[in-house]
Amino acid sequence: MTVTTRRLADLRIDDHTVTLPLVWGDPTDARTIDVHAAVVTREGGDDLPYLVFLQGGPGFEAPPAFHAPTSPSWLDGALAHYRVVLLDQRGTGASTPFGDDNLARGAEGVAEYVTHLRADAIVADAEAVRESLGVETWSVLGQSFGGFTILHYLSTHADSLDDVYITGGLSAVGRHPDEVYALTYDKMRDASERYYRRFPGHRDAMRERLDLAASGGIVLPGGEVVSVSRLRSLGMLLGTNDGWQTLYGLLETDPRSNAFRYDLARALPFSARNPLYFLFHESSYADGHATRWSADRVEPDDFLADPTLLTGEHVRRDWFDTVPGMQPWRDAALRVADVEWPRLYDADALAASDAGGAAAVYTGDVFVPLEFSLETARLLPGITPWITSEHEHNGLRAGDVLPRLIDLARGRRMR
């Protein structure tokens, strides 16, 4: 392990890098990767316990720590109680990155490689980092996919965890990904209709842009000819607290203008910056199943008939033919879709884990459906669910969510 230290005002950041197996549990496989974790400590906080943060995604690095104002927005609340470990999950950030260089492995090699980047391997990495810090237990905060990863943590290494904080819902346990994606379409239908009721003229504005896309008339600065399915994925914006404002701006801007083209390029999800996000996003819901383009297969008839119904975190197979940054990954993506993923969660182990903490579950969450979150919450009697309509899926960024969860967890312990 290597450690370097830097300072930002009253924050000390210790950068830890450990070299770990690419394939856990197979001593015959000599491949290794580096995993990076930035440990953030506020002045006077050297005796505080650790809280490790697991980012959403999959395929995104932990946010960098800044000072004045402290960023990310939830960091202030965390540093009042913890030293915070910002873990770059394998394949992201300062950990051995996954990117275009991996295309040299060929489609089969890429598909094999990414099977070792899932939540189970991330948990094994976290355990190695915890041991390198010399602590028997720590607390954990997971946003979205990070919370899914915590469920695996609780299924396999619950004894390593003190307080558990989950934001952005709870993953379905033992469900087929088709069930999850079918329900997310219902959520996107409701979100689309709510938006159009609020801004009635925007359904026609969206239809105008969809017709333009269908004729090949929207070309992004990077050369992408925007397809109808790509344009519809702007529905992702309706899953965040303020994303509707970006959608509003796009639908108020002349679709033939430079402003629209450049703003659209920034707003579209699943960019080539993070290929893991689109390459194996569906695997995050694959608790013992192959996905086989689940989002494509379960798209409802009314979505097929009415393109103004916007889609959300639904990866479309045709993007691997139409989006320049995704095209090189097409053959690998086809193989990844057929991977029979192992189980991630153990319902009996979750119930027996005696985990304590709190989870923020958002009633309007279009990415992690409320119904399955509540079903999973019943497996975790020690974790208090905070069910709220105050925030959308990215509520953690508002800054007030984590303090609320800490209060809930500590109040429960005092009873």
Which residues lie across from 53 on neighbouring strands? Answer: 86, 141
Span 378-403, mean pLDDT?
94
Span 222-240, mean pLDDT?
97
pTM: 0.96
pLDDT of residue 412: 61
- Please give the Cα distance from 9 to 40 (Å, whole number): 12
Per-residue model confidence as pLDDT tens digits over 356-387: 999 999 999 999 999 999 999 999 999 999 99
pLDDT classification of 28: cutoffs 50, 70, 90: very high
List the Cα angle 162/167/187 in 5-degree steps: 150
pLDDT of residue 322: 95
pLDDT reading at 414 higher than 60:
no
pLDDT classification of 320: cutoffs 50, 70, 90: very high
Per-residue model confidence as pLDDT tens digits over 53-66: 999 999 999 999 88
Per-residue model confidence as pLDDT tens digits over 43-55: 999 999 999 999 9
- Please give the Cα distance from 21 to 67 (Å, whole number): 34
- Please give the Cα distance from 318 to 401 (Å, whole number): 37
Per-residue model confidence as pLDDT tens digits over 69-109: 778 999 999 999 999 999 999 999 999 999 999 999 999 99
- Residue 18: HSE in the Cβ half-sphere, 13 Å Cα cutoff: 20
**Where are the domains positioned within the chain?**
2-174+343-414, 177-337
Q: Label residue 199 exposed, middle or buried (CB < 10 Å: 0-12, 13-18, 19+).
A: middle
Sequence-ordered list of residues with C-beta below 8 angstroms from that of 117, at least 6 positions apart, any chain? 58, 89, 90, 91, 98, 276, 280
8-state DSSP, 268: -
Per-residue model confidence as pLDDT tens digits over 187-216: 999 999 999 999 999 999 999 999 999 999
pLDDT of residue 154: 98
Query: What is the architecture of the domain spanning 2-174+343-414?
Result: 3-Layer(aba) Sandwich (3.40)
